[in-house]
Amino acid sequence: MSIVVTGATGKLGRHVVEQLLEKVPAEQITAVVRDEARAADFAARGVKIAVADYNSPETFDGLFAAGDKVLLISGNEFDKGRPAQHQVVIDRAKAAGVALLAYTSAPGSLTAALADDHRATEKALTSSGVPYALLRNGWYHENYTEQLAPVLEHNAVVTAAGEGRVSSASRADYAAAAVAVLTGEGHENQTYELGGDEAWGFAEYAAELSRQTGKEIVYNAVPAEVLTGILTGAGVPEPFAAILVGVDASIAKGELVVSSGDLSRLAGRPTTPFAETIAAALKG
């Protein structure tokens, strides 16, 4: 039996493989990647490497075996039809008779367009007959801390999220939940709503940045059309800008507050405080 991780050299996938290596022998882990060179460090530590691409379904033929536990990390090619990409993995997993297929989805409360691909994939997975686990990941701290340059340049946090709050957590936290599901028992046909222990608002985010940088950073809540103009003006493609602005609208409605406690329960520890991830990002 292998634990198979798709998107293994992506930002979340790397955390998952690193944490799996702390729990199981390397030879029990298969990292599925598009570019073998990017997985050289994993290969050097004994992880099996499989090269496959969602856009070339035949590359997944024979990749899974009966009894495998598989983590399907959702694709990031928003323009390529992600549900069809994910279907490739579901079909191969079913044919192989895997023991579990876990999928990184989005909170059940999220109605933004970003969630549409996830809902379609969930429907395909839950109706496939494959034992599944839905890991409905909330927002990531890093969605903000990896975009600090314009914030620090203009001394302003700008969103269309109003007074909305976010239960974000670090990628490492979400990876820990995935690893718990992949290495534990009793997770078949379960749905987990995952989010950080503490919800925060953007005024608090600006205040924390001010505290850590010594600069006066303000929060500017703007209308959706203004944020769309800012994003497209900065070079963000219009369809993706619309997705981001749609998420802000959902945040304003409270849809990214996740209070289930599932994430810290699965991880076996409290989730990472946002201030800690901010500090790490500022250190660079």
What are the pLDDT digits (tens) for 99-125? 999 999 999 999 998 899 999 999 999
pLDDT of the residue at 3: 98
Count Cβ atoms below 10 Å from residue 46 Cβ, excluding itself. 12
Rounded to two decimals, the pTM is 0.96
Mean pLDDT of the residues in the chain: 96
Confidence of residue 80 (pLDDT cuts 50, 70, 90): low
What are the pLDDT digits (tens) for 162-171? 999 999 999 9
Residues 6 or more apart whose CB falls under 8 angstroms from that of 99 comprise 1, 66, 67, 68, 69, 131
Assess whether pLDDT exceeds 80 at residue 78: no
pLDDT of the residue at 1: 79
pLDDT of the residue at 76: 79
pLDDT more than 70, % of the chain: 99
pLDDT of the residue at 77: 74
What are the pLDDT digits (tens) for 247-270? 999 999 999 999 999 999 999 999
